[in-house]
Structure 1
Amino acid sequence: MTFTQNFTAVGDNLALSAVVALIPIIYFFWALAVKRMKGYLAGISTLAIALVIAIFAYKMPAGMAFMSASQGAVYGILPIGWIIITSVFLYKLTVKTGQFDIIRTSVVSITEDRRLQALLVAFSFGAFLEGAAGFGAPVAISAALLVGLGFNPLYAAGLCLIANTAPVAFGAIGAPIIAMEGPTGIAATEISKMVGRQLPFLSVFIPFYLVFIMAGWKKTKEVLPAILVSGIAFAVTQFFTSNFMGPELPDILSALVSLFALAIFLKFWKPKTIFRFTSEQELAATSTAKTIKTQDVKHSGGQIFKAWSPFLLLTGIITLWGMPTIKLALTGHYEGANAILKALNIIGHSLTFIPNVPLINNKVINTAGAAVPAIYKLEFLGAAGTAILIAAIITKFIVGISWKDWTITFGETLNELKYPVITIASVVGFAYVTNSSGMSTTLGMTLAKTGSTLFPFFSPFLGWLGVFITGSDTSANLLFGNLQKITATSVGMDPVLALAANSSGGVTGKMISPQSIAVACAAVGLAGKESDLFRFTIKHSFFLVIIVGILTFLQNGVLSWMIP
């Protein structure tokens, strides 16, 4: 039995089909923003509604719909859930052994100002992790670091989600851009150039926006020099690397340049006042005493290096895991002559399982008449979470924790994250059901009907919608890339601009994606509070995607000289 996707399944009418396809999304918004439902309950109920619509409105066979959900749930657990578990575990190891106290002191030695700490950790360090790994690790690790520094957990999670806007399009060694080349036939280097002529505008703005959200206009003006150093260093590097080096390195190099530029700048410049949150200001006397005490504690360079070494290890190992050749070996697909990689390939092959998804593999027929493959992709060694686990194992010897306490800490982490992992599995299952049934493409086709005048403005909203549904800029580019190209050609818009808009618009949807919300809450201990974080980020997501829409509209007209 096969199932042919029908994007006008309801009444043979695209508009009516789009209204029905919107129901699970509207419900999810309502469940989190209005009802304030716990994340795992919102995720499971949204998945259930999507299954009902796929089966009864889109006429997808029930067995196929449920197996599609299972494919998404498995992907939600590995690699995404695995990243969260190992990231939080590594962080907890540094806390339990007292190393995080030294990390906190070392950051405070650069600046005690919360505004500047957010730029260093959420923006620059988070962008580096996005470039090296992606898939939730940047938000999980940087948010946990901010909480350890004393940030309110909700603020830490929200700020890291917003900061993650700038680097997402080039995340995971350029995966979102590279993925778009296949279905569209347009070179990834050309798409990279165009994205590199859009995102730098956001990259300059995001540091300012982060501080403005935290402190308001008056307090933002106090640190404008630092904001400009952070944002301009990132944006300029992002432009040059994306236009002259390709999509693989913009995040990593931009983040490093921004991080070191700001750290060096702060050696010679300090804000007039030290900003702390209201809750800290209410205990001003106590805070002052603690600050004096912290400043009196002097740690040697060796102690600071030891404290940071788990995260330095993490960075190095994740970077290795993301390199294309090593990635092939880790997943058992290496065919070169290098002896070490060949040995690694044998191990990777034995730990990689790619079984077909029963009932649905090559049984869904898309509008092009092609069968869509469906597999459970279980790459145990190649998963980024495994790289983090290896860092945690090495950390055991660095910090001197016993295997007993190491194991107990891992068990505590698993227990704390059981509900967030259920949330992630359910919302990714929802994404897969909407994709395989054709609901997401119905919505994309509806937006594409906006016409030659308005489509350039709404083009980024397709990417925004895709990332909201799938939780991934890579998946959104695969989902809507070809639709963007075809629609752009038909309305007289440059296809490269439309593809770039899909990716640039997509990054603004990351902060409200259900799986991103679940990841961030899990990392900072806010499981069950997903609705609060969603309410925090939703307005910023809308605001930023509108900015990208306006920029794309202008680049299609008066700024067309910016198109490569």
Structure 2
Amino acid sequence: MSTLYSVLSLTPILVLLSISLLKGVKAGIYSGFIITTILFFIWDSKLIAFPAALISAFINTISILMIVFGALLLHSNMEEVGFIEQIKSSLKKAHHNTSFQFYFLAFFLTAFFESVAGFGTPGAIVPLLLISLGFSPILSIVVVLLIDGLFAITGAIGTPVIAGFQGSLELGVFQVKLIYVYASCFMLVSGAILLYFIQRFVVKEHPEISAYSWKLYFSVALPFVVLSFFLQELTGVISATFMGAFSYFFFFTNKKLDWKPWIPYGVLVVLLLIPKIVTAIEPLISFKLSFDNMFNSDVSASFQPFRSPLFPFAIASLCAALLGKNHKMKLKPVLNKTLSIFLILFPSLGITQLMLSSGTAMPSMIDTMSELFAKTGNAYPLISPFIGVMGTFITGSTTVSNIIFGSVQYNSAENLNFSTELILAMQLNGASLGNAICLFNIISAAAVAGVDKYTKILNKNIGPILLTAFVTSLIGFIILSLI
């Protein structure tokens, strides 16, 4: 019976992925939701836990939609007052080469916004700027999500490690430093592989685009590796800033830029950083609406409205409107776009929550899956990064993937006498890569860019991500076999 349940625990993921690739993401999500609902009751789950899980999924959906709404509002206002066109013009003056403009925006802004804010923020902002340069929406989203899969290691000022590992595993300071170093080294290799695919995708659409990709990549990736041991959670922010400064001094052919259209983005960055710097406002930011043990079940949920990037987005939008002397913000189109993805996003989050909440007298689907992975013995390093990828694919978050599977990876490493820091780095690297294929990021980024062909994005990204995760697992397996 335990073997049967172990196999069944994988079914929602297999159904979700296979049907998404064959029939489309919408069909995959709804099929996955139906299968997960059936398995939820097969799993000897409390009946009352079912509505509780759906309410929890609804609360998480609202949290994500707040980000989407804020990003749409900012871009709508930026476009309305002509700032998007001015940014494009400003970049052309800074450097005439379209290749430089494309890769600079893709690497610099994706790395920076992921490191500062996380939670899908780069996918909601950067593709729109790439589209304004003349690149197709699908290509723009694909490239940004692949790059996002590299820098989510330090997403939201280190949340994946701070909340994902340190809180539950009680790691020491030196252990955390080693995890960052190992993960950043894996990232350097991962980035080289993904950049090869990114170049292929870009050149296929724009044959004239060929230069600067490697130069700009290494200008952010090398500082990331060098600084990771010393800066840990701040590595991504500082590395992206270094890349921006390096590009300004060594690549920009015209350093007299028009900074006015960039001001709203500057305001956004400052507002996102303030909670990390000014600790006095932490009590306000950490305000939480908690829904514990809903309907007397074991399911709980929480909502932290002031931690959402919505408010920084809204203030930056107001700044854009005031600077552009346009006092009418068009809310209705933005609201309509945001609501249009609810029916896709909610059931996808429902799958995760039902898997987590299943089981009364037996382990949940997620726990059963974890037990299955732990039985692989000395071959465990070969699947370690894939566990991280899968965790982000089904939860939509590097941090949540680390929370769910971090203890499994840590305990498996200890039991098999592997380096716990290296195994956790492989989990972190895999969880970060998963951002490029997780349906929540794809749906959110596509909705903001006005794209409904989610499957095209998934089809383009899944091969490079799985290959990159395999290379990571192979490197990790060889290192662990030698030490």
Q: TM-score, normalised by structure 2?
A: 0.91
The whole-number CA distance in structure 1 between the counterparts of 2:150 and 2:439 is 19
Q: Does 1:77 align with 2:66?
A: no
Contact 2:75-2:125 within 8 A present in 1 as well: yes
1:320-331 matched pairs, under 5 angstroms: 320-323=274-277, 325=279, 328-331=282-285
Q: In the alignment, which residue of structure 1 is the partner of 2:156?
A: 172
The whole-number CA distance in structure 2 between the counterparts of 1:96 and 1:387 is 19
Q: Does 1:185 align with 2:170?
A: yes
The whole-number CA distance in structure 2 between the counterparts of 1:253 and 1:113 is 26
The whole-number CA distance in structure 2 between the counterparts of 1:549 and 1:357 is 38
Contact 1:102-1:299 within 8 A present in 2 as well: no
1:220-369 matched pairs, under 5 angstroms: 222-223=210-211, 226-246=212-232, 248-267=233-252, 301=257, 304-323=258-277, 325=279, 328-332=282-286, 349=287, 352-359=288-295, 363-364=297-298
Task: Flag the structure with larger Rg.
Answer: 1
Secondary structure of the residue aligned to 1:150 is coil
Which of 363, 366, 371 is the equivalent residue of 1:445? Answer: 371
The whole-number CA distance in structure 2 between the counterparts of 1:300 and 1:194 is 40
Higher deviation after alignment, 546-555 or 468-477: 546-555
Residue type of the alignment partner of 2:83: Q
The whole-number CA distance in structure 1 between the counterparts of 2:365 and 2:307 is 31
Residue type of the alignment partner of 2:404: L
Secondary structure of the residue aligned to 2:45 is coil
Contact 2:179-2:421 within 8 A present in 1 as well: yes
Q: In the alignment, which residue of structure 2 is the partner of 1:17?
A: 5
Secondary structure of the residue aligned to 1:62 is coil
Q: In the alignment, which residue of structure 2 is the partner of 1:368?
A: none
Residue type of the alignment partner of 2:344: T
Secondary structure of the residue aligned to 1:167 is helix
Contact 1:195-1:504 within 8 A present in 2 as well: yes
TM-superposed CA distance for 1:220, in Å, is 9.7
Q: In the alignment, which residue of structure 2 is the partner of 1:401?
A: 326
TM-superposed CA distance for 1:509, in Å, is 1.4
Q: Does 1:541 align with 2:460?
A: no
Q: In the alignment, which residue of structure 1 is the partner of 2:188?
A: 200
TM-superposed CA distance for 1:113, in Å, is 4.3
Q: Does 1:460 align with 2:448?
A: no
Q: Over residues 95-126 of structure 1, what are the superposed CA-to-partner deviations in whole Å (9 max), with x where a residue is unaligned?
A: 11112111111122234544433321222211
Distance 1:116 1:221, change over 3 A: closer
Q: Over residues 327-352 of structure 1, what are the superposed CA-to-partner deviations in whole Å (9 max), with x where a residue is unaligned?
A: 623335xxxxxxxxxxxxxxxx5xx4
Q: Over residues 31-68 of structure 1, what are the superposed CA-to-partner deviations in whole Å (9 max), with x where a residue is unaligned?
A: 3211125x3x6434422321221112x11122202311
Residue type of the alignment partner of 1:428: L
Q: Does 1:156 align with 2:92?
A: no
Contact 1:28-1:42 within 8 A present in 2 as well: yes
Q: Does 1:550 align with 2:474?
A: yes
Distance 1:523 1:459, change over 3 A: same
Q: Over residues 464-510 of structure 1, what are the superposed CA-to-partner deviations in whole Å (9 max), with x where a residue is unaligned?
A: 11111111110011101111111111112111111111111111211
Give ranges in structure 2 of 5+ residues lacking alignment: 359-363
Contact 1:327-1:382 within 8 A present in 2 as well: no
Residue type of the alignment partner of 2:458: F
Q: Does 1:28 align with 2:16?
A: yes
How many residues end up aligned between the 2 structures? 474
The whole-number CA distance in structure 2 between the counterparts of 1:100 and 1:398 is 13
How high is the sequence identity, in percent, across the aligned residues?
21
TM-superposed CA distance for 1:433, in Å, is 1.5
Secondary structure of the residue aligned to 1:151 is coil
Secondary structure of the residue aligned to 1:354 is strand
Q: TM-score, normalised by structure 1?
A: 0.79
Q: Over residues 132-166 of structure 1, what are the superposed CA-to-partner deviations in whole Å (9 max), with x where a residue is unaligned?
A: 10001111101111112221011111111111121
Q: In the alignment, which residue of structure 2 is the partner of 1:489?
A: 414
Q: In the alignment, which residue of structure 1 is the partner of 2:335?
A: 414
CA RMSD of aligned residues (A): 2.5
Give ranges in structure 1 of 5+ residues lacking alignment: 1-10, 269-297, 333-348, 365-372
Secondary structure of the residue aligned to 1:427 is helix
Q: Does 1:147 align with 2:102?
A: no
Q: Does 1:499 align with 2:424?
A: yes
Distance 1:44 1:535, change over 3 A: same
Contact 1:451-1:491 within 8 A present in 2 as well: yes
Distance 1:18 1:520, change over 3 A: farther
* Structure with higher helix content: 2
